[in-house]
A = this chain, B = another copy of it.
């Protein structure tokens, strides 16, 4: 678990603690709401593939024995789906369906990303390809992807074509972002072929933001919410994703390894094109940094320490902090437009009793969504 407080100014301790409690409650409530439907979907898989899926969700050991303490993630995307649907005045069932689809896609993408990146561990456990082999990890990922599409397409009374389009757009963006991230590694630091900050933003929005945007908007899409509501929710998630990525970059250089769980300066040692470096290289003060990065061979630990200081001297840390703040403000701006447009025009044909335009449910849910997003971008990821 990594915290944003080292990168961005933290909220006062008491407010922060209350906000944290509320956010954790929202995450827990969403997980409890979604878990039965998610388990039911996983149970439809081939038993062996289902076991691999359950392992990757942190529900069991390799072999299928249940874990004493479940080791899954916080369920951020499923919470965004549930709260996004509620904020749009959509019925709870639409939020749960969206949450299941998005959680399946997220799990699929972790499975395949860990193969692509060769990562041996995730959340302190062997990754799926390490525990079960590359072939089974590829296959289980494919199965989860297909199951996500099937889940959306099998929900009666919802706008299935729009939902499937929304999900497949997010998936295409995700692949696009992953491809750019891989290709950035072989691009030079300087010159006309260098990665520009706007290319970085597009990569981060695609790789991290697209699925968060999809999560936040999908319940509203399923329920036939107005186009502007869907667009605002989607944009909020996408800005959240870019903010996450930039803060991750900041923590990668200046974060406390004991808190981030990553080795110190790992991104610099790997030559990763992170935002602070790209922003620094765009300034005249960055000549010594450019010389250091362009020197032959990978950086050693002393080089990386020197690079971190040079990036800060050239304004890279400040620029990245400002960039993250801009995207956080954009998340807020997207949510600001929500209450007046929600709870009024969802056209879902199912469980209409769950949707009462005159209730305050839409507004309260927008507050919940805002509380979770605020907490996420200000406190911890």
Q: Please give the residue numbers on chain A whose beta carbons come within 8 Å of chain B beta carbons, in ascending order.
A: 44-46, 48-49, 112, 115-118, 134-136, 138-139, 141-143, 145-147, 149-150, 152-154, 160-161, 164-165, 167-169, 171-172, 175-176, 178-180, 182-183
Contacts and interface: CB of A to CB of B under 8 A. Distances in A.
Contact of A150 (B46, B135, B172, B176): B172
A116 B143 contact: no
A153 B179 contact: no
Contact of A172 (B141, B143, B175): B143
A136 to B, nearest CB: 7
A154 B165 contact: yes
B150 A168 contact: yes
B146 A168 contact: yes
Contacts of A164: 149, 152-153, 160, 164
A98 to B, nearest CB: 16
A44 B142 CA distance: 21
Contacts of A168: 146-147, 149-150, 153
B145 A116 contact: no
Identical chains in the assembly: 2
Contacts of A167: 149
10 contacts: A49-B175, A116-B139, A118-B135, A136-B182, A138-B141, A139-B178, A139-B179, A143-B175, A146-B172, A150-B168
Contacts of A152: 164
Contact of A48 (B44, B136, B179): B179
Nearest to A149: B168
A48 B183 contact: yes
Given A146-B171, A149-B149, A183-B48, A138 B161 contact: no
Contacts of A150: 165, 168-169, 171-172
Nearest to A109: B142
A118 to B, nearest CB: 8
Contact of A134 (B46, B134, B136, B154): B134
A13 B45 CA distance: 47
B138 A176 contact: no
Contacts of A171: 142, 146, 149-150
B142 A175 contact: yes
Given A135-B116, A153-B165, A165-B154, A46 B146 contact: no
A175 B134 contact: no
A127 to B, nearest CB: 13
Given A164-B153, A164-B164, A142 B46 contact: no
Contacts of A182: 135-136, 139
Nearest to A147: B172
Most chain B CB atoms below 10 A, which of A44, A49, A168, A180? A168
Contacts of A153: 161, 164-165, 168
Contacts of A175: 45-46, 49, 139, 142-143, 146
